[in-house]
Amino acid sequence: MAAAEAAPPPILELDPSHDRAVSVVEDIVRLERRIFPKHESLARSLHDELKRRNSGLIYKTSSADEGEVIGYAMYTCNTSLCATITKLAVKENCRRQGHGEALLAGAVERCRRRKVQRLSLHVDPTRTAAVALYRKAGFQVDTTVEGYYAPHRDAYRMFLDL
């Protein structure tokens, strides 16, 4: 009889009062610095972002017993009707394993629970894997925002009506 495969680690919501919150945020800051260019990284402002009443952060760890953070998603409910996914990132060696899709679905579900009607995000059109992930989840390109990230580096503004 074959051993049962271990279930993937669940998506966790950051609870600032939890003992492990500090190490989770430190893991996320390290990922931010590795994944995003300095001018796009929230590494310096992450603590301030998390203090916002309408912000949420979900994450996945390398194991069910709360190992290292391998991916995270941040979202902000701007109004009662509209929310924005501000970050979605997965550690490089953990990509293409469904973690990004699970985190995106988790963020969408949390926004649905808050009765948000439209979810939006910005993504660099050259990040084809990210664009494909968002399209697969039902996001549509609303417009191209010229110079969003830097001069001559545009972004797609995408949306999903819930």
pLDDT of residue 13: 85
- Within a domain: 77: yes
- Within a domain: 43: yes
Confidence band, pLDDT 50/70/90 cuts, at residue 32 = confident
pLDDT of residue 6: 55
- Within a domain: 135: no
- Within a domain: 4: no
Number of domains in the chain: 1
- Within a domain: 150: no
- pTM here? 0.85
CB atoms within 10 A of CB 155: 18
Cα(157)–Cα(123) distance, integer angstroms = 7
- Within a domain: 106: yes
Confidence band, pLDDT 50/70/90 cuts, at residue 5 = low
Query: Which CA distances in Å does 118 have to 115, 122, 144, 158?
Result: 9, 14, 18, 10
Q: Which of 76-80, 117-121, 141-145, 146-150 has the lowest mean pLDDT?
A: 76-80
pLDDT at 99 over 90: yes
- Within a domain: 130: no
The domain that holds 44 is classified in CATH as 3.40.630.30
Cα(1)–Cα(32) distance, integer angstroms = 43
Q: What is the mean pLDDT of residues 64-83?
A: 85
- Within a domain: 5: no
pLDDT at 64 over 70: no
Residue 26: give the domain boundaries: 12-122
